[in-house]
A and B are shown apart, each in its own frame.
Chain A
Amino acid sequence: MYELLLSTAIALAVVLAFITVAAMFFVYAERKVAGWIQHRVGPNRTGGFAGWAQSIADSIKLLLKEDLILRGADRRLFQLAPAVVMASAFALFVVLPFGPGLIVADVDLGVFLILAIASVTTIGVIMAGWGSYNKWSVYGAMREAAQVASYEIPLGLSLMPPILYFGTFSLKAATEAQTGSFGMGWYLFSDAFWIAIPSFLLFFVAALAENKRAPFDLPEAESELVAGFHTEYSGIRFSFFFLEEYAAMFVFSAVGAALWLGGWNFPGIHLLEPGSTLLLVLATASFVLKAFFLVFIMMWVRWTVPRLRIDQVMTLGYKYLTPLSMAMALIAAGWEYVKHLGAQA
């Protein structure tokens, strides 16, 4: 019992530290990528070399800001919302397979759990919008609810092809299934690559929308809604929403990496002795790098594509992504059936 508690506490601390450090890095990377794409240099003063301390300075500033609660606000909802949002982002990390044996909890229904917990974020956002006593916040929260509810369907459906292919909901088992072909048996390069590539694109677009990332960042529309649901938040509560966005970006990128890009597998993994420290380090690095690469693509998209209108977002979700991902799921199922028949014959 005591050992279980201790290991849980250690895992939680590690995950929290990882989220915080990764989010700081992502904020910095985002600003650098934005700068480079626009022919600027991005932050380059703080801390001397290339502005590396910019995120640290930002977080210190955020933590020192006054924590405001409006007089008309629903105090309980207002105070609880960031915690709900943060906790859901936090819980998402539990099922990520960082490396062989490096997973907090290998849940059988890992993918399903991620989808379920990611929706809790929406509840936190609606609480924030409703509790803020501000019409912009409510509008922002409503948009978020509409957007996330409509994109959850294509997101879930676009995860079906890899799940059918590997025959498991567990991210760890799916990763292990991709170890073949000298560590390059990734779903993207498998015999079903013609299903994998479009379903990966669908998943990526749906994940962008689910995370409220540009071009789907309608819940925070500066021109119409100020900052949307977190207009009235300041200081550390605001930073929770911020942290959640980057944590969720990482989690969805990690899911994409685990299901399509081979998870922790890297070319040459079969040469290393299973269970060795070197393997563990390299595998973890490969997983994290793959996820970071997908996060980078998310940033790249943000600084390329202009924002959509809310009706365009809905059109894309309902008229394009949902039927297409449904078709992909059916095709994947058909392909598995064909393979099954072939194996029997």
Chain B
Amino acid sequence: MTLPKAPTEPKPPRGYFGNITDTVVSTAKGMALTFRYLFRKKVTVQYPEVRPQLDERYRGIHYLEQELCINCDKCAKACPVDCIEMDATRHGKELEWHKFQLDYQKCMFCELCVYPCPKDCIHMGTEYSMVSEDRSDFVKDLLSWTGLTEEQQERIEAAEAAKAAKLAAKKKAAEEAAKKEPAEGEAGAEDPQA
């Protein structure tokens, strides 16, 4: 078995004039290279004016599809640093949102809150810049609205109206049944006593 050769043999010493030639030649090569670099395209991104193109999977500030969210708290439970806090009141099928806060002082953008969501409605966004002189600005609310929207209001009213109508119908049915019932009821009532 032969051992592999060292990739580069150390250069033999060059002597006095060899050193001079080497220095001059290598300096000239380096200068030529940097001179070409002088005119290359610049790679700097002019940040605030030009935003870097981010990957789709970039994990920036979250965004929430509020109309889908069901206030199930699964994301908050999944979060290892407990930085999600939410509060909503349920009106039948509609949710009246009060808050859905993320504390970006704690968040480490691990995306663990995204996976358990049953409605697939919380996502990592591509916005990343958070600058503030006040720490409380880093607690962000992801809600697009709080309270009830008009649509929700209408739907709740419609649902309530439907419910009321249903109740009324039921009541009416019950009353009608009660009118008929005395005869049947008296007849039926006798059984247990029997």
By a beta-carbon cutoff of 8 Å, the part of chain A in contact with chain B is 33, 35-41, 44, 201, 300-301, 303-305, 320, 324
Contact = CB atoms under 8 A, between A and B. Distances in A.
A304 B30 contact: yes
B31 interface: yes
Contacts of B24: 201
Contact of B44 (A33, A40, A300, A304): A40
B37 interface: yes
Contacts, number: 39
Interface in B8-42: 19-20, 24, 27, 30-31, 33-35, 37-42
16 contacts: A36-B37, A36-B39, A37-B37, A38-B37, A39-B40, A39-B42, A39-B44, A40-B44, A41-B44, A44-B46, A300-B31, A300-B34, A304-B30, A304-B31, A305-B27, A324-B20
A247 B39 CA distance: 27
Contacts of A303: 34
Interface string B78-90: 0000000000000
B102 to A, nearest CB: 33
Given A36-B37, A300-B35, 18 more contacts: A33-B38, A36-B38, A37-B37, A37-B38, A38-B37, A39-B37, A39-B40, A39-B42, A40-B42, A40-B44, A41-B42, A41-B44, A201-B24, A300-B34, A304-B27, A304-B30, A304-B31, A324-B20
Query: Chain B interface mostly helix, strand, loop or mixed?
Result: helix
A304 B42 contact: no
Nearest to B31: A304
Interface residues of B, number: 18
Interface centre among A38, A40, A301 (most CB of B within 10 A): A38
B54 interface: no
In the complex, which of the residues B20, B35, B38, B39 has the most CB atoms of chain A within 10 Å of its own CB atom? B38
Contacts of A300: 31, 34-35
B194 interface: no
Contacts of A301: 31
B20 A320 contact: yes
A39 B35 contact: no
A304 B24 CA distance: 13
A324 B23 CA distance: 14
Contacts of A324: 20
Contacts of A41: 42, 44, 46
B21 to A, nearest CB: 12
A50 to B, nearest CB: 12
Contacts of B42: 35-36, 39-41
